[in-house]
Amino acid sequence: MKILAIGNSFSSDATRYLHEISEAGEFPLKVVNLFIGGCSLDTHYKNMNNDDKAYLLEFNGYSTGFYVSIREALQSDMWDYVTMQQASPLSVDFNTYMPYLQALSDYIKFHAPKAKQVFHQTWAYENESYRLCTELGYKSYSAMFNDIKYASNRAISEVGIDCVIPSGELVEKMVSARIAPIYRDSFHLSLGVGRYAVAALWYECITGKSIVGNNFCKFDEDIDAETINSIKQLVSAMKL
């Protein structure tokens, strides 16, 4: 199964372990991420129209050093899934999604007509962080995430995206369950716990297989066995 993510650093976080988890689950996935730090839907739209080779290609969780355009990536293989997402600070505002998400969806349909289109729901920032409270003016993770959920769900409904990977919802549940550390800098995911949890969610969403019996444990940052088990249980309990 082949997955192409058109994203930014949040899709890098989400896909770092995805291929390796899938190998451990004996359901190998080819995972390609198109990376530009902080890239928004309107920037994807401009790059798409200009056919810019602006994206660092990440293959199975690692940077290749090569730069490609969206068109080149879409035409490079027969993709089963193509994911899209909004930049995290803009994800709270529906007006930032349109018409860019619709145009990107149409472009994907043209160049990869057999691919299932997926929206990657981003997560809110760490409670009491400068980015959350001062830059965006929110008092809590939940307040920001409620706006993300409303704006993204409305956009997804209007465009007709096939399905959603609810990473933001998972992070909210991790915050409530006091699973830590989720973040490494108040908005990107931690190299162990955060990235593993969201990759496990992607794995279940895309393959339909359970993460519970998966024995992958080669993390860039150590995670204790109890936390791994808590993450597995939390992911498997989500209604996908």
Can you give the pTM of this predicted structure? 0.97
Look at residue 239 in the predicted model and tell me its pLDDT.
Answer: 73
Query: Beta 30-35 vs 2-6: how paired, if at all?
Result: parallel
Kindly tell me the number of DSSP H helices and DSSP E strands found in the chain.
Answer: 10, 7
* pLDDT above 90: residue 126: yes
Taking the C-alpha atoms of residue 58 and residue 168, their distance in angstroms, rounded to an integer, is: 22
Q: Chain-wide mean pLDDT for the chain?
A: 97
Q: Which burial class, exposed, middle or buried, applies to 47 when counting CB atoms under 10 A from its CB (0-12, 13-18, 19+)?
A: buried
pLDDT single digits (tens) 26-37 = 999 999 999 999
CATH architecture for segment(s) 2-236: 3-Layer(aba) Sandwich (3.40)
Taking the C-alpha atoms of residue 110 and residue 74, their distance in angstroms, rounded to an integer, is: 10
* pLDDT above 90: residue 240: no
For the segment 214-231, the average pLDDT, to the nearest whole number, is: 98
For the segment 107-123, the average pLDDT, to the nearest whole number, is: 98
Give the Cβ contact number of residue 179 at 10 Å. 18
pLDDT single digits (tens) 145-202 = 999 999 999 999 999 999 999 999 999 999 999 999 999 999 999 999 999 999 999 9
pLDDT confidence tier of residue 227, bands split at 50, 70 and 90: very high
Give the Cα-Cα-Cα angle 240, 189, 46 (nearest 5 degrees).
80
